[in-house]
Structure 1
Amino acid sequence: MRFFIAFLLFFTILNAEGLSTADAFKVEALVNKKDGVVFKFDIDDSVYLYKDRLKVAVGDNDITDMLSLPKITEYKSHKVFEGDFNLTIPSGLILSSGNLDDFKINLSFMGCAYSGACYSPQNYIYEFKYDANKYSIAKTEKKVSSKTEEKIVVSEQDSINEYIQNSGFLAVLATFFGYGLLLALTPCVFPMIPILSSILVAKCEKNNTKKSFFISFIYVFFMSLAYAIAGVIASFFGASVQGMLQIPWVIILFSLIFVALAFNMFGFYEITLPSKLENVINKKSESKKGYIGVAIMGFLSALIVGPCVAAPLAGALLYIANTGDALLGGLSLFIMSFGMGVPLLLIGLGANKILPKPGFWMDEVKKIFGFIMLFMAVWMFSRVISANLTMFLYGVLGVMFASFFGVFDKIENGLNTGFLKFKKGISFVILIYSVLLIIGYSLGGTNPFKPLENFSASSNIQTLPQQSNNAKPNFTKVSNMQELDNIINNSTKPIIIDFWATWCVVCKELDVVIESSEIQDILKDFELVKIDVTNSTLDDKELMKRFNVFGPPALIFFKDGKEIKNEQLVGFMDKANLSDKLKRVLEY
């Protein structure tokens, strides 16, 4: 995750026209005994200052609240200073805290660029000494601790939204293609790989790179088109099209489609278009035969199989929602999705090297992809069933796979003996793991990567009864605006609002991080709220619109009744980064 964020910022900064702190915020100090001290601020048009970050102290006395402040404007719910202004410290305030002949003023401020990047806090000490009827002014910079600097952040999606607004057309598209390449390393694309691979196995013959690449291109093109259309609709109507399709009957239907594709791979039947429709298509263009199905699968895969909300996607949606510019926002989403699809295009480009020749090997590979389709069906179905039952289905499927590929077969001496032994060894390992999954299911386990976790936990309880059970965090569930506002207005702790859905795979990955002992130790200082948007009700949409959330997972933070917008989290975050974020929130 740190690697992803680092490159995310790199692509943004690469295209930004940044100013140094000295050029962005010019401050000059003027002084006389009658009027006191005047700080003349010359702020560049591309930046602004936060009102609540401007502090003035004479000696050790903070006098900020006693000063007459310049004009305050509102920007993204923050009170800020813009343009040039003067800040006067009257001689009376200086005299009340010391003397006019020898005094110090501590001036600190922090600002950000409209493009989204923030400057580190600035802290200066001005020493004024009166001698020979004139003042001498010495200015020194006080270093701000790294801990304080880390506290000043802007949410990734807000930064990206502002970057789109302040950058050129081609620069935005190039940057979003880079975002797409980075997202290709996340779980957003992984479910697409076996789908496309199975299509290539079914439709391509050996040594036909052009056809396999064209099939991959069609798949990626319509996948990108789906992301763009869904994104534009979501930004205008405040609801996720992908989320609306994550309803039980759609998920079950798509799971059954995977089962049907699996049986097709096993050779039980062949899926073809009705003869009349196929004849019409063939007459129009022989070259288009079969491509319509690929396009449909690519389009539906983006909406149903791999719904994914990440910072670049959320930033583009915010831009469309705020400006109404569906052209640039939609193109950004399309280009980003195409970048995500680059690994899929590479699979198509190299398909002629990995696809087996027709015959026995092709039949074996098709059977393997048939089981991959069955695993995809279980993976889809896991969104509407319990994690415990999902683990059982994976176990049963693994036993079937091992049996089907000869774990119990006797190997006769002859050709390919070495390969058959290797295949049997792999099948045996899968069989053992699958049996462990079934045992884990019987013990109430839910994590397929730790199937015997409950067994070891129960053993620890018996041998170490004094140790407490690692219970899950206690979230209060709310379903409407009134319930949420009651908690916000009455809570004495900082609040975490978790937007979550049963169909959201990334939500479950984030849950694993949240339920870790390290994070739970920090969560004790928070009040936890969960908003389940599984059914996408009107109340759900209203709550999501309030916080500019276009899909789960998202974490919203409140402290003292005010939202900490800069810390909003969209998508997945690893344990280390989430821990740092939570600690920052506690320091606000």
Structure 2
Amino acid sequence: MMKKITSLLLLWVMVLPLWAQFHDPVSFSVSQKKLSDSEFEIVFTGKAEAGWHVYSTDIPDGGPTPATINFDEQKGVEPVGKLTARGKVHKAYDNLFGMEVSYMENTAVFAQKMRITDATYSVKGYLNYGACNDENCMPPTNVEFTFSGSGKPAAGNAVAEPQKQKEKTADTPVVEKEEKADAPVIGGVDTVATGLVVTDSVPSAVAGSNAAVAASDYWTPVIDELAAFGEDASNAASQTWWKIFLLGFLGGLVALLTPCVWPIIPMTVSFFLKRSGDKRKGIRDAATYGVSIVVIYVLLGLVITGIFGASALNALSTNAVFNIFFCLMLLVFAASFFGAFEITLPSSWSNAVDNKAESTTGLLSIFLMAFTLALVSFSCTGPIIGFLLVEVSTSGSILAPTIGMLGFAIALALPFTLFAMFPAWLKTMPKSGNWMNCVKVTLGFLELAFALKFLSVADLAYGWHILDREAFLSLWIVIFALLGAYLIGWLRFPHDEDEYDESGNVVVNHRTSVTRFFMALVSFSFAIYMVPGLWGAPLKAISAFSPPMSTQDFNLYENEVKAQFMDYDAGMEYARRQGKPVMIDFTGYGCVNCRKMELAVWADQKVADIMQNDYVLITLYVDEKTKLPEPIKVTENGQERTLRTVGDKWSYLQRSKFGANAQPFYVLLDNEGKPLNKSYSYDEDVNKYIDFLQTGLKNYKNK
């Protein structure tokens, strides 16, 4: 059964990125609700799948796509007020955009109140909204509506229809016909001049314009050709799961080295081997003990998931109150590791469980022994577990705490089983000593450093500006310099044991072990590495922890990759004349992972050189709100859609030509619009990204 569950989880992890690209996770229905003889509401009801959220209406400029209502036609009716969001609206601080955003999960409801001004009315338009999950953002999407009917004109609002048609307000824009020369073009074809209706394939140009024909070829679908190169060059979801598991496993290994766990290992293993008198049964009991440890900590992860749920875990990454709480919790843990006090659970708890274990037999007795270990070792493992749960919870993944605890528990339980199978190894175990206290103090410094990460989120949320990037880096430099000083022996804490010579005198100038020397070397080097960041160096190693570069007051860094073109057809035509391959960057102003890729990957010098010198970079924002000269109707998957904005046009290009609609999405093309390599999504592996670019260049030269 466990193998089946594991297989299903791995299958889901691998399928998720591809599913997000082809699947529409939010579906809307539109209805007309009568309020009185002279008023009614247009109600949009959306159902979002688990993990997805729809942004509300009150999103500031520069943030993700807000929900807006747009009117193409209004006859005998006028809007009253603005579009409103109803239901449970969450608010959380977004660290990337530096602002608080509001969104809805599961069910999103928007309503627009309308007033009838004539005996008969008709209204036509669309809702535009944005939706994201933790890995991808969908392009801005339209929900069309058309309503007509009759009613009683509101008193004092019987305005002549011709006059109303001439009025234009911010809330009720009237789309006017542009001159034919400015009409929208898809694939180089003047859709107004030709009377063309765009379908799933690229529109065919009418005879008489070779330039239009050549341009239209750029829009020819290449979904099959792209698939022939293989799957997407990234698998962000699976990497996230494995990183969480490895983080938990590493935490478990560190917990083994603490004074609360390490001395218990030989005592527990010897107990099992002696109790049974049978080595095989002793190994089985020790293995059961290890499995019980795994079950206990995995249950802890499930409890955390059950308490918070998907929506709360998603909010943890940006919510200011939660981040302040996490910061304070990590500061308390750090003080405990420094020796200020000891965090322990009530002794009555462990005593009660221990007594129960002695009075029972069989598997229950072994399980209770494992539970006693969890309680007794809490003073050492509690801070590690606390940090682990904080870190994986803020990843926004619903199963992250459980997977993190699985890794932690496996690392913690493994020695009990291995030493029971190979008892001779017990003799080679390092003896308990002051080195275990060194591990605790080192963890205290790390807890202190990560506490600042969460404080920086709250600082951005409230606009305190006490922890801008320079201040954050300065504190981290001091923390890791002090850690190096402790490891080298220049700094000591109250619970550090004194060392004595043969006469009983305290040794002041004691020798530093080789292990502590190398650890100090790493700590000092890391502190020095961060110093250039005070002048604007990107510091890719800590880009996920430090405040954004926008908070830096003094910045000398100018190595920024910029797009050569923001228009697909113009960029392709330029690349054809220059004889260079093209990189298409489908992005969005509200795409969080797009910004992460630009900071963590594009900032690499080798990546920047290849993109700027060897490719023509075309960046297309799928949430660009600039209006097209005139709406373009397309038929896609049997449904008619209307492209009204530049972003609509680029989103349609991504769907129709490449069969994808999630961002970030990178694709390499030759001068005819044919792919040169598999596509690439969110994956911060610089070497993999370089290979992606170089493979495209190689294939282009071979052509």
TM over 0.5: no
What TM-score results when the alignment is normalised by the length of structure 2? 0.37
| TM-score scaled by length of structure 1 | 0.43
In terms of fraction of residues, the more helix-rich structure is: 1
